[in-house]
Amino acid sequence: MLAEHRLHPSDFILPLFICEGQGCEEPIKALPGVSRWTVDRIGAQARAAAALGIPVVALFPNTPGHLRTMGAEEALNPDNLICRAVKAVKDACPEIGVLTDVALDPYTEHGHDGLVDEAGYVLNDDTSRMLTQQALVQAEAGADIVAPSDMMDGRIGAIRAALEDAGKHNTAIMAYAAKYASAFYGPFREAVGSGGRLKGDKRTYQMDPANAAEALREVAMDIAEGADMVMVKPGLPYLDIVSAVRKRFEVPTFAYQVSGEYAMIEHMAAAGGGERDALILETLLAFKRAGASGILTYHAMDAARLIG
């Protein structure tokens, strides 16, 4: 009766990984209980999420190696893996929202989120132009929300202008506005096939974990450029940032309970160090207490069942 915060299935966004093939489920070793799904099976996952009251799924492709290039050309292919998955989800479950990742790391042979020069330095403006085209391709496929996760400067304004010019007025932008260069992303990189490819690190464009005021500046820029909602990533180690963003800007503020956070809970529970269901609900409730409007979490369906 006196609880100040509550969880509801509508708080969750379920990330789903897509792979090539037919009729396949590929378990991801680093993410116990999470799999990659082929396009023909992704619709069933979306229907299961919708039946539990989860309003949105987020799609991430594991692009085959032979399609990963220095120029990330596959990102602009209207028949690429992610676009086919968007269409399959919308055909199977029209009522669920579809969020797509706008970044080049699933398509580059070097594993970075953008185009790089000969020295391996990510090129901000060239990347932003390509991200704008990528967002348009995804919107044409039926994405309801495009989510630039690359952390290039100026890309939100460019994407918003391009969507408006293309008549995609109702395509929302969820900006990864405060994305930190974190050690918690390892299992995700395995899931999308980019981990072993990464040359160097992403600290030249993702945020320094030591910085908090910078996060507020980054969020302010993305909102000014036309973001409809913003995201902080990772989640639990950055709840102070979630809280500060929500209080300062009063805009829809999402957090990503990333792969490393999920894996810690699963491995701790498997080792007998804690009760799994309680760990899931307590960590998710922490996001709500910090002010998150919603949470991207691999535990979305488990949590929705537990809430009942």
**Distance (Å, whole) CA 168 – CA 139:** 7
Question: So where are the chain's domains?
Answer: 9-307
Q: CA 246, CA 187: separation in Å to the nearest integer?
A: 28
**pLDDT at residue 199, as a whole number:** 75
Domain spanning 9-307: which superfamily?
Aldolase class I (3.20.20.70)
* 168 is annotated as an active-site residue: no
pLDDT, position 201:
85
Active site residue 179: yes
Of 90, 168, 179, 288, the catalytic one is 179
Catalytic option among 90, 168, 233, 288: 233
Sites in the chain below the pLDDT cut of 70: none
**pLDDT for res 291:** 98
Instruction: Write down the pLDDT at residue 308.
Output: 81
CB 91 within 8 A of CB 120: no
Question: What pLDDT sits at residue 14?
Answer: 98
Instruction: Give the residue among 265, 259, 255 at the shortest CA–CA distance from 291.
Output: 255
What's residue 120's pLDDT?
86
Structure confidence by residue, pLDDT tens digits, 253-308:
999 999 999 999 999 999 999 999 999 999 999 999 999 999 999 999 999 999 98
Q: What is the pTM of this model?
A: 0.96
